[in-house]
Each structure stands twice: as structure tokens, then as C-alpha cells.
């Protein structure tokens, strides 16, 4: 199920995203691609083929297209596969035609985006698929453990892989973590201050719970999302059921999220917990790039 806390359902080329890509081009190209300029005439035409060398989930076609158009709008970029699509070894992703020098100048940056974002989407899909094969409807959510400057793209890749997004940043959702609770003097005072601060903003409120005592206090004060943090399996089950019963009796819609130490290897122990979702930092901070290449002729 995709819940109402989804905040990044699609990638749109806003001025902010376009500027991020321009900065990446400036970082890589700088004053010019001296090797291509030295070896290839400016008007030499050619074709390029971007393809996958392995299985996985594709993500980043739109970004690669934008990179190419900003490097040289005279190069035609024809997408042959789409974001979110399963890839097979040898599968064509895009075809390019135009000045060879420009294609080679954009090559590395296009592949950087495609390889990394496809890696994020592929790892997300593995977690989602594993849960579904176990008969679980739990959603797989990301975290803020992203590559600095790449968060927009990485969170898009999580969605392409079948996951859902947590809050995007510090400004768009309250997330009261354990350190906030301890510094505020407890769950109650922390939530009271957040609810007061939230008047007129209508932001969602989420909070971590370490045990059943903290959970009961959260239910008394109210929240939109409860993160069941580093609980053992039995406590997780009790906590998720307690929230479910509270929602039924109070007519509320508090979501539950399993968080802390969840990996693909131990995912099975959470599959039958009646929670709404599980958050996994590794989706963005420990991902392996997918093997994607470009050949020019």
C-alpha cells in the first residue's frame, strides 16, 4: 500500500533539478573535454548505444536525456527503455545520434546517473519483491541517508524500484527522534511542543518509539507516523497491533514503520508484523552501481 505520507512520486525537471545537472556538468566538463577536442573533429557524426550488461531495474533515463541536451542539444537521444523497467543483459536503454565529440563528453555523467540510480531502484525492488513473495503488504521506505546533492534523484529511484519516500528533508515533516525526546524531557513534552509549533503549518508529525511505554504516551498525544525503533520481534508485534487497535477504536489513521537494523538478510523476520512499512537506509547509502555501458560508432 502507498500511504498519504508519500512526498516524491515523480521526477519533474524543475529549475532546481536542472541546475543540479548543470552543476554536475560543470564539475565534469569544466572548460572543455580536452581529449575529445584533440582527437575528434567537431562536425564528425556518429551513433551511441547505451545498454545494460546485467539484470536490474532501470532508473535515470530522463536524467541522462537532460544531461545530453544540456551538453549538446544537437544530439538526438532516443529512449528505448523506461524508468522502473526490468533490465536484461544486453538490453538497449537509449540510442544517440549526432556529433561524436558531444556524445563522448556527456558519456561519463550520463552513465554515472544511470548506474547509480538503477542501483538504488534495483536494491529497492529486491526488498519489495522479497516481502511480496513472503505474502507481506508492508511498504519499503527510504531515509535521509542519501548522497549529498543527489537526494532528489535517489528518492526518485526508490519510487522507480517500487518503494515509497519518507520525508524529503528537515523542513517538510516533523520527525521526533530519540535524541529530541531525551533533550525535551520525554515523549509528552516533545509532542506538545511540536503540535504547538505546527499550528498553521499542517505538517505531518512522526516520532520514534523505543518501547511500549513511549508508544502509549504517543497514542495519548497523537501523531501521524510512529517509528518502531530497534524493537525486538515480539515487542514489534505488540506495538503494531496496539496501534492498529487504537486506530480502530479512535477512528484515527496512525501509520507504523519498522526501523533500525533492517536488511535484506533479516527481512523475513519482519514480514508478518502488522506494520505499514519498513525503512531501510541501505537503499541509498550502501548501493552498488548497476553495470550500464555506452558504445559509440
Catalytic residue ranges: 108, 145, 177, 208, 229
Assess contact for 254 and 275: CB atoms under 8 A. Answer: no
Q: Is 234 exposed, middle or buried (0-12, 13-18, 19+ CB in 10 A)?
A: exposed
Give the strand pairing for 45-52 and 76-79: unpaired
Chain Cα centroid distance, residue 202: 24
3-state secondary structure the chain: CCCCCCCCCCCCCCHHHHHHHHHHHHHHHCCCCHHHHHHCCCCCEEEEEEEECCCEECCCHHHHHHHHHHHCCCCEEEECCCCCCEECCCCEEEEEEEEHHHHHHHHHHHHHHHHHHHHHHHHHHHHHHHHHHCCCCCEEECCCCCCCCCHHHHHHHHHHCCCECCCCCCCCEEEECHHHHHHHCCHHHHHHHHHHHCCCCCCEEEEEECCHHHHHHHHHHCCCEEEEECCCHHHHHHHHHHHHHHHHHHCCCCEEEEECCCCCCCHHHHCCCCCCEEECCHHHHCCCCCCEEEEEC
Amino acid at each position: 500500500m502507498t500511504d498519504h505520507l508519500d512526498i516524491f512520486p515523480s521526477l519533474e525537471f524543475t529549475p532546481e533539478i536542472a541546475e543540479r545537472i548543470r552543476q554536475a556538468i560543470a564539475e565534469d566538463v569544466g572548460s572543455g573535454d580536452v581529449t575529445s577536442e584533440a582527437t575528434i573533429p567537431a562536425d564528425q557524426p556518429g551513433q551511441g548505444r547505451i545498454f545494460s550488461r546485467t539484470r536490474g531495474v532501470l532508473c535515470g533515463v530522463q536524467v541522462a536525456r537532460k544531461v545530453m541536451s544540456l551538453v549538446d542539444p544537437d544530439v538526438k537521444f532516443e529512449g528505448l527503455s523506461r524508468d522502473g523497467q526490468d533490465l536484461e543483459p544486453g538490453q538497449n536503454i537509449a540510442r544517440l545520434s549526432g556529433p561524436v565529440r558531444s556524445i563522448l563528453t556527456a558519456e561519463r555523467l550520463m552513465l554515472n546517473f544511470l548506474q547509480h540510480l538503477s542501483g538504488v531502484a534495483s536494491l529497492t525492488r529486491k526488498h519489495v519483491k522479497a516481502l511480496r513473495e513472503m505474502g507481506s503488504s508492508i511498504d519499503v521506505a527510504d531515509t535521509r541517508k542519501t548522497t549529498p546533492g543527489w537526494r532528489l534523484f535517489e528518492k526518485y529511484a526508490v519510487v522507480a524500484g517500487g518503494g515509497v519516500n519518507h520525508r524529503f528533508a528537515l523542513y517538510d515533516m516533523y520527525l521526533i527522534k530519540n535524541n529530541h525526546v531525551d533533550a525535551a524531557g520525554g515523549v509528552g513534552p516533545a509532542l506538545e511542543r511540536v503540535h504547538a509549533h505546527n499550528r498553521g503549518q499542517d505538517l505531518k508529525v512522526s516520532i520514534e518509539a523505543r518501547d511500549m511505554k513511549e508508544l502509549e504516551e504517543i497514542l495519548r498525544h497523537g501523531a501521524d507516523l510512529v517509528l518502531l525503533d530497534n524493537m525486538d520481534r515480539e515487542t514489534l508485534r505488540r506495538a503494531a497491533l496496539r496501534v492498529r487497535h487504537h486506530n480502530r477504536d479512535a477512528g484515527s489513521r496512525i501509520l507504523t514503520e519498522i526501523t533500525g537494523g533492517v536488511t535484506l538478510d533479516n527481512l523475513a523476520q519482519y514480514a508478518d508484523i502488522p506494520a505499514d512499512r519498513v525503512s531501510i537506509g541501505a537503499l541509498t547509502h550502501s548501493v552498488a552501481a548497476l553495470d550500464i555501458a555506452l558504445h559509440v560508432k
